[in-house]
Amino acid sequence: MTSMPRDFARPTLRIFKTAEMASTAVADLLEQRMVAKPDITIGLATGATPRLVYTKMVERAGAPSWRSVRCFNLDEYVGLDASHPASFAYYMNDLLFDHVDVDPRRTHIPDGTALDLEAAAKAYEALISETGGIDLQLLGIGRNGHIGFNEPGSEHDSRTRQVELTPSTIAANAPDFPEGEEPPATALTMGIGTILDAREIVLLATGPAKAEALYAALEGPVDLDCPASALRKHSAVTVFCDEAAAARLKRDNLSFTGDGYAAA
């Protein structure tokens, strides 16, 4: 697929020696934003990458408080309720919500068990808008460049909707499910357009398996083949990554800052 017909900015890039250092830096940024705006609205991601970020936040023993924070999760599998150990609702409760003073009424996850999934997606989109939008969106990146569950081919103005997952995404997520259980083939996800509406975006990428996707997102064409390339249309994106994920990236205009490399 051809690239879109204009140049886009490269997000701010911060490279750290290890995944733990990158995750700590993301947790530090979240803490700073929560202190500055206690009623901040944060978009949250799931999967293997942000686990350490949530662990770091829980270790901070309630400082800052989550009491006034509003949270919107990116996605949820269709057909899984909150009690299923592979659901993202279970993940969030287990790793974060059950360990901080967040108000459950201010945590929102797409309803993958809704009888009318199209209506549920529209309602989720409307709730984000009605509550003032997302201040900071946390993202990971899939091996095929997906953000949320926006797989390759997703339109950059897409909104919350039901999507079909690619075989590679299903295979990557299979270890999260009980042995012998196939992951769902579809999910509800915020759209790329929904993500780009956030005032600030933070992408965390760690490990060698993400190196190709990160390279495509930051240095390849801005097109539908790599959903994360759409982030280059946004004016306030910071990418936190470790050396392994940054293996293919150019290091132009970067300087060592003490904890890692950042834009000079």
Active-site positions read 75, 144, 146, 151
Tokens of 111: 């309803």
Q: Are 11 and 202 in contact (CB under 8 A)?
A: no
Tokens of 193: 């357009």
**Phi first, then psi: what are they for 58, rounded to 5°?**
-65, -35
Residue labelled with tokens 């000079």: 264
Tokens of 235: 């004016």
- DSSP conformational letter for 158: -
Q: Are 218 and 250 in contact (CB under 8 A)?
A: no
Q: Are 146 and 169 in contact (CB under 8 A)?
A: yes
User: What is the rounded distance in angstroms from the CA atom of residue 26 to the CA atom of residue 39?
Assistant: 19
Task: Kindly list the strands in the beta sheet with 75-77, ordered across the sheet, starting from the edge strand earlier in the chain.
Answer: 75-77, 186-189, 161-164
Residue labelled with tokens 């733990």: 20
Nearest-5° angle of CA 120, CA 121, CA 125?
A: 115
